[in-house]
Amino acid sequence: MLTAVRNQLRVCALSVKYNIMREMLNKVTFVTNVLFMMFNNATFIVQWVILLRLRDDVGGYTMREVMLLWGLAASSFGLSRILFARVFSLPELIINGKLDSYLVQPKNVLLSVMTSGTNTSAIGDLLYGLLLLCIFCFSVKRLLLFLLFTVTGAGIMTAFALLAGSLSFWFVRSELFASHMVGSMTSFSTYPDGIFKGAARFLLYNVIPVGMMIYHPVHIMIAFDAAKLFTVLGYLVLLSALAVFVFYRGLRRYTSSSLMAARM
Amino acid sequence: MRVIEAEALSKNFRVKHKEKGMRGSIRAVFHPQTEEIRAVDRVSFGVEEGEVLAFIGPNGAGKSTTIKMLTGILYPDGGRVEVLGIDPVKKRKQLAYQIGTVFGQKEQLWTHLTPYDNFCFFGAIYDLSGREAERRIAELTEIFELSDFINTPVRSLSLGQRIRCEIVASLIHKPRVLFLDEPTIGLDPVVKENIRLLIRQMNKELHTTIFLTSHDIGDIEKLCRRIVIVNSGQIVMDDSMEHLKYHYLNRKIVEVKLQEETALPKTEGITILKQKGSRVRLEVDTSVIKINDALRSIDAEHVEDINISNIPLENIIMEIYKSEGRGAVQ
């Protein structure tokens, strides 16, 4: 059992390594991708600086909390797309029958698929998040919590993308739905939760799990709350289990295809 | 010993139907219509260890679907399947350690990596230690003559070189059964011949069971000892190549060049396929008329040149597709 887990991890690590090697084939493109993503993210700071000069806070968030929110959103998003980028294109893999090559390998299909792609610019996101934390609200305790929540956030985002993407096993063109759901998660994760009331707030804590991915962790990093911490961890476990269950149920319906395909 | 056993194996696909045009698209939103298609319909067969089997049929016959059920890619809707005594549905991973797959239309290799790096990756997938993988790569590099391009990124290789690497990647773990789905698609005749030679060698030396689907008659003729023909999801023929040739090659093509243009007499068992001046192309049914009697009827004294050949296997298979497509005959 342990050997099997070790071998599986060895393959996943190799897969991630080869993905990054592929992205680094052109060094200039690689470096500019990373830097421009950081630059692109940084432009949003200007908006918040202007806004927070006009008001003391937005939805209860001052500049420090907003930067923490942005940092965690960027890092979680980045880590998820560095390690599990392929999960975000799962509908395309399902519809075009590109899971075949993973299904004939003696390894966990889901892990093999998820780790088979990476996104260079996501490295910029991850670094940007850490940079914001270091510049605006650094403390050792906060850094450790930030790293933990980057992992849980990436986990929640990946599980949510997996859940939404797996619907393609049942519904044609559900890739648009999946893409909107994941997109809305990214968009909402950069706004303070205090501005959302009623149904919107309910949605953000239940249907689109931004609350568990970003809002609760930000609250914990500002004022530590063990109950909230366990809620986030519990939610991650439950959502991941549900997403994996739905993926494997869907896999029984996988129809493959005869389209020509290459592993790029 | 039987390494593959399929019993009443079935697979259905639900396909959406839409009437033409915009109106059809709108109607499909409110009244979606689907049809269930039987891709594989109660197919039963077995494959012995070390056998080289051609599993052929026209497009959409159910060949790839069958291969995908045998390898654990697709879940069957009915029937039973076992490969090396393992149920691909229940123990897909366990089976994957013992089989190899090459899909001519789908690449498994990472295009930015060299074949060597790819083979190392596949070695890790099959839990080979670094040293074991090295040894195996060296062995296969020699057999498949890869040394000239083993360190060139896959994307820079020719199609033939890539297919060789695909086959090597699928052999890295010494599979007992190798599934080849159109392995020579798009290759030139020389490369095709090389690939066939390697497959034959592998079967002979390593005793690997080969399950091959191909539209290339050359692959089938030169590699396989047994042929299974499927059409419309059913097996229409399961016979040895020798038998197939014996039963179906009772018609000969006779091409003669006569000294002068002559009207040939009508004889039972002889069909004139083409006549242009003094050149005549005939089909002789040897179950009706012996070949020497047929030659006598042509008047051999006036023959300047003659060539007798079998009907191409391709034509025979095409005839089987057409004649047996409506009902399954095993």
Question: Which B residues 50-89 touch A at CB under 8 Å?
Answer: 64-65, 68, 71-75
Structure confidence at residue A164 (pLDDT) = 93
Q: Could you report the per-residue pLDDT of A29-76, keeping only the tens digit for each?
A: 888 888 888 888 888 888 888 888 888 888 888 988 999 999 999 999
Shortest Cα–Cα distance, A29 to chain B (Å): 16
Give which of B140, B211, B201, B144 is closest to B180, Cα–Cα: B211
Nearest CA in chain A to B13: A255
- The DSSP bridge partners found for residue B228 are B55, B238
**Cβ contacts (< 8 Å) between A3 and chain B: which residues?**
127
Q: Note the pLDDT of residue A259.
A: 54
Report the C-alpha gap between B122 and A11 in whole angstroms.
9
Q: Which long-range contacts (CB under 8 A, 24 or more apart) does B60-63 make?
A: B61/B230, B61/B231, B61/B232, B61/B233, B62/B11, B62/B230, B62/B232, B62/B233, B62/B234, B63/B181, B63/B213, B63/B230
> pLDDT class for A127, splitting at 50, 70, 90?
very high
**How do B226-231 and B52-56 pair as beta strands?**
parallel
How confident is the model at residue B4, as a pLDDT? 94
CB contact under 8 A, A252 and B75: yes
Question: Which two structure tokens, joined as six digits, stand for B9?
Answer: 């194996």
Our CA-based measurement puts residue A251 at a distance from the nearest CA of chain B, in whole angstroms, of 9
pLDDT for the residue numbered B328: 40
Per-residue confidence (pLDDT) for residue B33, from 0 to 100: 79
A18 neighbourhood in chain B, CB within 8 Å? 110, 112-113, 117, 121
For testing contact with chain A, the best of B37, B74, B94, B211 (most A CBs within 10 A)? B74
Q: What is the pLDDT of residue A76?
A: 96
Question: How many other C-beta atoms lie within 10 A of the C-beta of residue B152?
Answer: 14
Q: Which residues of A touch B96 (CB under 8 A)?
A: 104-106
For position B330, what pLDDT does the model report? Answer: 35
pLDDT of residue B6: 94
Whether residues B93 and A107 touch (CB distance < 8 A) is answered with yes
For chain B, residues classed under CATH 3.40.50.300 are: 2-245
For strand B2-17 and strand B177-181, is the pairing parallel, antiparallel, or unpaired?
unpaired
**Do B110 and A18 count as a contact with CB atoms less than 8 A apart?**
yes
Closest CA to A228 of A218, A243, A237, A239: A218
- The pLDDT score that the predictor gives to residue B179 is 93
The residue type found at B42 is R
Q: What is the pLDDT of residue A262?
A: 52
Distance between B46 CA and the closest CA of chain A, angstroms: 21
pLDDT for B29: 76
- Confirm if A214 and A76 have CB atoms less than 8 A apart: yes
Give first-to-last CA distance, chain B, whole Å: 21
Q: Does B94 touch chain A (CB under 8 A)?
A: yes
Q: Report the pLDDT averaged over residues A9-17.
A: 89
Which of A14, A106, A261 comes nearest B106 by C-beta?
A261
pLDDT tens figures, A210-255: 999 999 999 999 999 999 999 999 999 999 999 999 999 999 989 8
The pLDDT value given to residue B262: 78
Say what the pLDDT of residue A263 is: 52
- Shortest CA gap A196–chain B (Å): 35
A143 or B143, which is more confident:
A143
Q: B106 and A105 in contact by Cβ < 8 A?
A: no
CATH superfamily of B250-310: Malonyl-CoA ACP transacylase, ACP-binding (3.30.70.250)
State the distance between the two ends of chain A, measured CA to CA, in whole angstroms.
32
* Whether CATH 3.40.50.300 fits B2-245: yes
Query: pLDDT tens digits, residue range B103-124?
Result: 877 778 888 889 999 999 999 9
Give dist(CA B215, CA B58) in Å, integer: 8
pLDDT at A261 over 70: no
Which stretches of chain B drop beneath a pLDDT of 70? Answer: 249, 300, 323-330
Task: Please check the confidence at residue A2 and state whether its pLDDT lies above 60.
Answer: yes
- Mean predicted confidence (pLDDT) in A191-220: 90
